[in-house]
A and B are shown apart, each in its own frame.
Chain A
Amino acid sequence: MKKEILKLRDIKVHFPVKAGVFNRVVGHVLAVDGVDLDIYRGEVLGLAGESGCGKTTLGKAILRLVEPTDGKVKYISNDEEETELTSLKKTEMDEFRKKLQIVFQDPHSSLNPSFTIFGSLQDPLKKFGIKSKEQRRKIIGDLLEAVNMRREYMDLYPHEFSGGQRQRIGIVRALCLEPELIVCDEAVSALDVSIQAQVLQLLMQLKKEKNLTYLFITHDLSVTEYLCDRIAVMYLGRIVELCDSEDLYGNTLHPYSEALISAIPVADLDKQTKRIVLEGDVPSPVNPPKGCPFHPRCPKAKDICKIETPKLKKYSTNGNEHFASCHLVDLPEVS
């Protein structure tokens, strides 16, 4: 039986746009605009989309690194106790920070250059009650070995490491409090292909050993296919499709996901597909188009798409749940 670890209900993150002499609020960037999502224990959930679609903001809103404007994030512990994270005070939140961690995108800017690795990594351990330095060194040393690095590396400075090594240190940082869920925000995008494969394998291996759950944020759909159990595709702050990873590639329901998949260059001469070239750019999230946010670029748009915003509805493909928000899906809706 699948158990949830996080439940997101109608999450909204709006950033005010200020202008003029008095810095009056003239509008809002609707970075995340109503997202419902359940994350199950032990799964890898991919969150894919183009830049500016709100995927990073959603990842940060879950950890309250960005305060959500509206909506609820519920954490369900192993013994099925529900806590609403969004209503907690800052000090109360600390307890849950231990369980929810993040690996940042850019390994070059997410480590403090004036501290050694041990100096950077020991702070959270100190905060959560590991008083003896010996013990802290042991924990960090063990973790460094777990990510195929040498124990002695903890006394070096970040500039002495290559990009792939730094990303692994970022993973150690996230792991040192024994979290249950890790948000990987474009964790492999900044790395070279050969290093990227090393980090991907490491992530999978750690998941097995430590029973982790990942929310894997990326723009690279070929990585999500390899890594993820389920994939959510975002467009302009909303989830447009959510389903098992095989179904996303085999039975695509939303025209945006279809275009996104067809646009990815495939490194296989036998598998070349026809590119669906979308016209124009992603519209501004300050005033998204009326109706379906995708309709100005959609090759299949009909009149109804301009008027009515489609809701995320549940369908079934290959016996699996498959959510999509499009008027043009001609499958029967499942309750």
Chain B
Amino acid sequence: MNYKNNIALSVRNLKTFFYTNNRCNKAVNGVSFDVEKGKTLCIVGESGCGKSVTASTIMQLLPTLSRIEEGEIIFHKDDHKINIEKLEKNGRAMRAIRGSDIAMIFQDPMTALNPVYTVGFQISENLKYHTNLNKKQIREKCISLLNDMGIPLPEQRIDEYPHSYSGGMRQRAMIAMAMACNPKILIADEPTTALDVTIQAQIFELMEKLKKENDTAIILITHDMGVVAELADNVAVMYMGNIVEAGTANDVLRRPTHPYTKALLESVPVLGRGKNQKINPIKGSTPDPYNRPIGCQFAPRCNWQTESCDIMPEIKQINNTHQIRCHKYEQFFEKYNEKRNS
């Protein structure tokens, strides 16, 4: 494996399975990716494709009925590597990483904050455990964090409870909490899905700023291709527990090669294309996770399905950055080359 210095986290062949009622749901089934420092990796997919499970696996926040079956999660801390999957779930080592080196923003700011503690208390918890600051310094740090997040009157707001914050402000408080210890990696699980577009724009602006100033690696989980186009440096498209296509934003959005990525891009109306744009829905719906198709997971909904799709395709590299899991990718990719040459 070629080891690069600017990589913050690498995940190799990760498998997370859920066991319920004597059945096994292979929620994440062999996922590999790298996150670089100061870059944003967007994981896109529909609901149920395993993107949130991947995030909680990295944080070791999985529920009791699930476990990491196989694979490696390597966190590159300064010069040495830490294998997160080998750490005890709630052990000392994991707790030291969680919240300080790797932090997470959850989807729903309405439920992720504890209603019976003040916002200031919840932010300072992180600082209390991970830094040597005294009470006064912690309070000052909290105020400056809230100020950085653009919350008006932070000296007063710090002693207020979450219910007196609006949705956008709660999400900012969540980000303040996550950024409290200057994490190396920030995992944002659909941070703006519950928010309005104007507030979403504010949050994105903030995340871009943090990325530039602190060189934080961001894993952004989303279902919105628009968000990907705006924020991503690298993209991984997930479907039913696998990454089907990965590459730089340029690779994936300009030359989508996997049929699923293509279909996903064609199924959303794009602003500015007017009323006559064509949208093509993907036929059928996502399969039952307990009753999966054999071989390529997308085959039953794919327009180019052939017999060879009964075998799960291997990951193939198209170029240095662009990789894909499809038997027929060469055919699709040739089209782009033809277009470019003509």
Give chain A's interface residues, CB within 8 Å of chain B. 50-51, 162, 164-165, 192-198, 200-201, 219, 221-223, 225-227, 245-246, 249, 259-269, 271-272, 275-282
CB distance from A301 to the nearest CB of B (A): 16
**Complex interface bits, B260-283 against A, C-beta within 8 A gives 1, otherwise 0:** 000111011111111101011110
- Once bound together, how far apart are the Cα atoms of A232 and B277, in whole Å? 21
Residues on B with beta carbons closer than 8 Å to the beta carbon of A282 = 196
Chain A, Cβ-Cβ closest to B224: A265
Please provide the chain B residues from 20 to 54 with a CB less than 8 Å away from any CB of chain A in the complex: 46-47
Residues on A with beta carbons closer than 8 Å to the beta carbon of B46 = 192-194
Give chain B's interface residues, CB within 8 Å of chain A. 46-47, 152, 166, 168-169, 196-202, 204-205, 223-231, 249-250, 253-254, 263-265, 267-275, 277, 279-282, 285-286
A267-B225, A267-B265 given as contacts; is B285 within 8 A of A195 (CB)? yes
- 19 additional A-B residue pairs with CB within 8 Å, beyond A197-B279, A226-B269, A263-B200: A51-B196, A193-B224, A195-B285, A196-B268, A198-B281, A221-B197, A225-B269, A225-B271, A264-B197, A264-B226, A264-B271, A265-B204, A266-B229, A267-B224, A267-B229, A269-B250, A269-B254, A275-B201, A281-B169
Assess whether A164 is in contact with B274, with CB atoms less than 8 Å apart: no
- Once bound together, how far apart are the Cα atoms of A227 and B226, in whole Å? 18
A193-B268, A269-B249 given as contacts; is B277 within 8 A of A277 (CB)? no
- Once bound together, how far apart are the Cα atoms of A162 and B288, in whole Å? 10
A222-B269, A223-B269, A278-B201 given as contacts; is B228 within 8 A of A267 (CB)? yes
Chain A, Cβ-Cβ closest to B276: A226
Assess whether A194 is in contact with B230, with CB atoms less than 8 Å apart: no
Assess whether A226 is in contact with B225, with CB atoms less than 8 Å apart: no
Assess whether A278 is in contact with B270, with CB atoms less than 8 Å apart: no
A198-B281, A265-B224, A265-B229 given as contacts; is B267 within 8 A of A50 (CB)? no
Assess whether A221 is in contact with B271, with CB atoms less than 8 Å apart: yes
- Once bound together, how far apart are the Cα atoms of A262 and B205, in whole Å? 13
- Once bound together, how far apart are the Cα atoms of A293 and B228, in whole Å? 33
- Once bound together, how far apart are the Cα atoms of A292 and B197, in whole Å? 21
CB distance from B264 to the nearest CB of A (A): 7
Residues on B with beta carbons closer than 8 Å to the beta carbon of A268 = 229, 253, 270, 272-273
Assess whether A260 is in contact with B270, with CB atoms less than 8 Å apart: no
CB distance from B49 to the nearest CB of A (A): 10
Assess whether A193 is in contact with B267, with CB atoms less than 8 Å apart: yes
Residues on B with beta carbons closer than 8 Å to the beta carbon of A260 = 197-198
